[in-house]
Amino acid sequence: MWKEYHFLVPPRVFKKNMRYAWNMIRGVNALCASPFDKVQYNKWLERNVEKVELLPLEYTPLISVLIPVYNVDGKYLKECVDSVLEQSYEKIEICIVDDASSKKETLSTLKEYENNERIKIKYRNRNGHISKATNDALKMASGEYVALMDNDDVLDKNALYEVAKALNENKKIDFVYTDEDKLDIDGKYCDPNFKSDFAPDSFYSSNYISHLGVLRKSIVLEIGGFREGFEGAQDYDLYLRFVEKTSPSRIYHVPKVLYHWRMIPGSTAAEISNKGYALERGKKAIEESLERRAIKGEVKIAKDCPYYYIEYALVKKPKVSIIIPTRDLAEITEKCLKSIYDKTTYKNYEIIIINNKSEEKETFELFDRYKTEHDNFKVIDANFEFNYAKLNNLAVKECSGEYIILLNNDTEVITPNWIELMLGYASLGHVGVVGAKLLYPDNTVQHGGVLLGIGVASHAFVGEFRDAVVWGGRLSVPYDYSAMTGACMMVSRKKWQEVCGLDEKLKVAYNDIDFCLKLLEKGYYNVFVPMAELYHYESKSRGADTTPEKKARFDWEQDFMYKKWNKRIKNDEFYNPNYSRKMWYKLDKGK
């Protein structure tokens, strides 16, 4: 703090450092390492270097590595090319196109490789930029698959073996991508990108796939290769067009760091602002993707990070039923209701209160007042023992909305167009549940999506600042997660009915997680939409699980989840297996 701020510490920074100190005290940082601490990450890499057993492969397709070259230092170019030549998978060729380099050491380095039978080299007479150069390399490629590589980056020795291994397991795969990190100027690894499996809404927020990408060449040719005018986001544009021609089942993620970006002055890996125009071209690529798919929406760049979000246009204004279970606590419930009626800009909605054995006079006075004041307000009596799943299932049968919002009574709307934002995603055919960003009253995060395997499930980014720029902009732009919290979730009635609503055996805990996982099993994606924000005062209306009876019930529900969803809990497809199961987006020090 002295070094960076000379003790002139803003309250926000002071609070952040105090939270870090508290985490140290309670052992979080003793057990886990930050992937963005260079020293800790390199130690983690040393502990986790796998000895790869090179098994004979039945299917050995030729992989053409495309490398557009322009005025790169000879040293870095040599390391790049040699890392491909030294691959443990031997059925490769390298297609290099020099884009009219003027740097002598670039050209002299290329000359050294001209007689290598595994390398094809073309020299362009005029600089055409990266899209033209890569298309020229594509024309030279003989492989069934093409791998994309920058002229100063490095492949792990087994990168293409791991790709070929995946293709042997499923020959129908069209697209393989791997995890990646960066090489700093001193040759140290840093800034890893541990990716999820393919997630379409996450992909519209950023090109998280990036490198290493290996694609079926026939599809690349079918879509016309790289397009001029998208330089800086040419890979993103290609990938967006490519995934439109295949299916998620044919896109495979290898969760291993097999590609190393070179961080040198002026590179995108070193600083995104060096190629700020790439953001605008990425935005254009998304806009054209939406147009090709006949989907209307406005693509926006997040104000605090270089990522995107889409505000989908609502062609229709379907009725939305907001379902709120409550038992007394009139003051808390009214705060929720008032925020909906005062702030919500969407008009076609109804509110269904599920009255679960309320007894207080103030509660019934509240109900009567809102019935009188609003013709879209309804109360359903549910005079049975508290069962969150049963209460909501009852309300869905009674409501008339085409879309349903489950909402806790201890929430408060912040974002006026919260329904429009969530409905835009919920109306997409591939989307199941849509969740919002929920905040504690002190403007720290209570819900930022749900990750499996930290316990049964854990809310991501709990305690982070509301506007924190976390890794990948995950609190700023939409991401696919396995699940969302039932404190605020939207889903279409049709999809609710398709999976038979909430499981009433789960009376209190995990019924929302179970519901989301049932939708995943049907092939839908659950999306966290952080642009929609609400406060959540968290379980004020029900209380904590402190009695022996409540603890026994919670233990049973937890066991139920482990038995039913063990495979998904152990392998959350939206949470990279390299991350810790003790703390979200950390690395295990002992692993």
* The predicted structure's pLDDT at residue 50: 78
More confident residue, 18 or 153: 153
Cβ neighbours of 465 (radius 10 Å): 18
For tokens 């020099």, what's the residue? 98
Closest CA to 44 of 53, 52, 54, 34: 34
Q: How far is CA 206 from CA 300, 431, 471, in A?
A: 12, 18, 12
Closest CA to 464 of 454, 455, 473: 473
Please state the separation of Cα 78 from the chain's center in Å.
35
* The predicted structure's pLDDT at residue 591: 55
* Interatomic CA distance for residues 281 and 226, integer angstroms: 13
Is residue 121 assigned to a domain?
yes
* The predicted structure's pLDDT at residue 572: 97
* Interatomic CA distance for residues 157 and 168, integer angstroms: 19
State pLDDT tens for residues 494-544. 999 999 999 999 999 999 999 999 999 999 999 999 999 999 997 544 445
| Mean pLDDT within 560-577 | 97
- Looking at the fold, whether 280 and 384 belong to one and the same domain comes out as no
End-of-domain residue from the set 292, 307, 330? 292
- Looking at the fold, whether 349 and 414 belong to one and the same domain comes out as yes
* Interatomic CA distance for residues 64 and 146, integer angstroms: 5
Contact status, residue 533 vs residue 437, Cβ threshold 8 Å: yes
- Looking at the fold, whether 351 and 394 belong to one and the same domain comes out as yes
What residues make up the domain containing 564? 320-588
Q: For residue 186, what are the contacts with CB-CB under 8 A and spacing of at least 6?
A: none
Q: The tokens of 574 are what?
A: 């939206």
* The predicted structure's pLDDT at residue 69: 97
| Mean pLDDT within 1-25 | 53
Residue 204 has pLDDT above 90, yes or no: yes
* The predicted structure's pLDDT at residue 542: 45
Q: pLDDT tier at 304 (50, 70, 90 boundaries)?
A: confident
3-state secondary structure of 107: helix
Residue 206 has pLDDT above 50, yes or no: yes
* The predicted structure's pLDDT at residue 14: 63
Number of domains in the chain: 2
Is residue 299 assigned to a domain?
no
Is residue 38 assigned to a domain?
no
State pLDDT tens for residues 217-264. 999 999 999 999 999 999 999 999 999 999 999 999 999 999 999 987
| Mean pLDDT within 182-194 | 93
- The strand pair at 297-301 and 251-262 is best described as unpaired
- Looking at the fold, whether 238 and 367 belong to one and the same domain comes out as no
Contact status, residue 400 vs residue 350, Cβ threshold 8 Å: yes
- Looking at the fold, whether 361 and 448 belong to one and the same domain comes out as yes
Task: Round the average pLDDT of the chain to a whole number and report it.
Answer: 92
* The predicted structure's pLDDT at residue 541: 43
Is residue 1 assigned to a domain?
no
* The predicted structure's pLDDT at residue 451: 97
* The predicted structure's pLDDT at residue 186: 87
Q: The tokens of 277 are what?
A: 């125009």
| Mean pLDDT within 55-75 | 96
Q: What is the share, in percent, of the chain residues with pLDDT greater than 90? A: 85
Residue 16 has pLDDT above 80, yes or no: no
* Interatomic CA distance for residues 460 and 309, integer angstroms: 19
Q: Kindly report the CA angle at 466 between 463 and 472, in degrees rounded to 5?
A: 90
* The predicted structure's pLDDT at residue 273: 45
Q: pLDDT tier at 2 (50, 70, 90 boundaries)?
A: very low
* The predicted structure's pLDDT at residue 269: 47
* Interatomic CA distance for residues 195 and 178, integer angstroms: 8
Q: What is the share, in percent, of the chain residues with pLDDT greater than 70? A: 91
Count Cα neighbours of 535 within 13 Å in the Cβ-side half-sphere.
Answer: 16
- Looking at the fold, whether 273 and 339 belong to one and the same domain comes out as no
Is residue 251 assigned to a domain?
yes
* Interatomic CA distance for residues 79 and 33, integer angstroms: 30
Q: Per mean pLDDT, which range of 181-185, 266-270, 361-365 is the poorest?
A: 266-270
Contact status, residue 220 vs residue 242, Cβ threshold 8 Å: yes
CATH of the domain at 551: 3.90.550.10
* Interatomic CA distance for residues 205 and 156, integer angstroms: 27
- Looking at the fold, whether 245 and 345 belong to one and the same domain comes out as no
- The strand pair at 175-183 and 145-148 is best described as unpaired
Residue 5 has pLDDT above 50, yes or no: no
- Looking at the fold, whether 152 and 276 belong to one and the same domain comes out as yes
- Looking at the fold, whether 335 and 468 belong to one and the same domain comes out as yes
Is residue 494 assigned to a domain?
yes
Closest CA to 123 of 153, 99, 89: 99
- Looking at the fold, whether 164 and 242 belong to one and the same domain comes out as yes
Q: Specify the amino acid at residue 573.
A: E
* Interatomic CA distance for residues 7 and 246, integer angstroms: 55
* Interatomic CA distance for residues 32 and 586, integer angstroms: 6
Instruction: Show the DSSP H helices in 272-417 as ranges.
Output: 277-292, 330-343, 361-373, 388-398
- The strand pair at 92-98 and 154-155 is best described as unpaired
Closest CA to 37 of 20, 22, 52, 61: 20
- Looking at the fold, whether 248 and 381 belong to one and the same domain comes out as no
What torsion, rounded to 10 degrees, do the Cα atoms 537, 575, 153, 142 define? -140
Q: Specify the amino acid at residue 342.
A: D
Residue 300 has pLDDT above 60, yes or no: yes
For tokens 């006079």, what's the residue? 361
- Looking at the fold, whether 326 and 198 belong to one and the same domain comes out as no
* Interatomic CA distance for residues 349 and 318, integer angstroms: 8
Q: What phi and psi values does residue 145 have, to the nearest 5 degrees?
A: -125, 150
Is residue 194 assigned to a domain?
yes
* The predicted structure's pLDDT at residue 321: 98
End-of-domain residue from the set 277, 292, 307? 292
Is residue 310 assigned to a domain?
no
End-of-domain residue from the set 246, 275, 292? 292
* The predicted structure's pLDDT at residue 27: 46
Contact status, residue 509 vs residue 486, Cβ threshold 8 Å: no
